[in-house]
Structure 1
């Protein structure tokens, strides 16, 4: 659950919510049907979205091993799932707490920044074709956070010249 909402509920144990607190809660509740729809669309189209991305990535990196490309694609698939859940919860911290910690270790080990950078670009393009602009805007904060954080981690692990 969104940290602000959690705080609201915790603080309201001994009192009623203040008008501004009710506004925050109302905004989240009002956006929930749209968030649910985006989540469902991503879930239902995941295979098509990722297959298109995988096909294009393979064409861009014909010299890379199948295992390397598959690892990056699987990581991106997991990233998309976690970002969709963060969007549903309206909680970017979900990405930081649940995804970046363990995925960062995997990514740093394999040093796939050029592949991952291209993959994220392809994924973003495919999402833009699969979702409306409004739906993308709901998903974007979590997606940008995950992608930029993971690419920074990869870049930090490479030796400086």
Structure 2
């Protein structure tokens, strides 16, 4: 659950929520149907989105080994799933926690160049297969992933960069 909402309930253990606390809760609850829609659309189109990005990656980096490219695609798929879950929960800490080992793997395999290219291609594929509102919910988590994985050879993700 969203850490701020979790904290609201902890703080209000012996009292009713204050109006400003209810506003935070209400805002999250009101956004939940759209978040669910974005999550389900991403889940249902994941293969198409990733395949498009992977095909373009192979075309851009023909000299890279299949094994190296496959490892990067598998990692990107996992990052995308973590981003989707974090977006659904609206929980950046959840995402950051799961990205830490991935950042170490990128460093260990020295795949930052490949992963940066794949992340750019994945972002483009997302903008082609998801509605702008769906990408809007996912964008903050993608930006966190881009930053935490040190895939900043590209400009930071923004809505303008995706559309």
Question: Given the two structures, how large is their TM-score scaled by the length of structure 2?
Answer: 0.90
Displacement of 1:112 after TM fit?
1.1
**Structure 1 segments unaligned to the other structure (5+ residues):** 155-161
Provide the C-alpha distance between the structure 1 equivalents of 2:115 and 2:76, rounded to a whole number of angstroms.
Answer: 8
Displacement of 1:151 after TM fit?
2.0
Displacement of 1:153 after TM fit?
9.3
The aligned residue for residue 158 of structure 1 is: none
Please report the RMSD computed on the Cα atoms of aligned residues, expressed in angstroms.
Answer: 1.4
**Structure 2 segments unaligned to the other structure (5+ residues):** 154-163
Provide the C-alpha distance between the structure 2 equivalents of 1:8 and 1:17, rounded to a whole number of angstroms.
Answer: 8
CA shift in 2, pair 1:80/1:126, >3 Å: same
The aligned residue for residue 108 of structure 2 is: 109
Displacement of 1:74 after TM fit?
0.5
Provide the C-alpha distance between the structure 2 equivalents of 1:139 and 1:79, rounded to a whole number of angstroms.
Answer: 12
TM alignment of 1:1-161, pairs within 5 A: 1-97=1-97, 99-151=98-150
Is 1:104–1:153's contact at 8 Å kept on the other side of the alignment?
no
Question: Given the two structures, how large is their TM-score scaled by the length of structure 1?
Answer: 0.91
Q: CA deviation digits over 1:14-56, x for unaligned, max 9? A: 0000000000000000000000010001111101110111111
Provide the C-alpha distance between the structure 1 equivalents of 2:91 and 2:121, rounded to a whole number of angstroms.
Answer: 25
Displacement of 1:132 after TM fit?
1.7
Q: CA deviation digits over 1:82-120, x for unaligned, max 9? A: 0000000011111111x2221122111111111111111
CA shift in 2, pair 1:152/1:62, >3 Å: closer
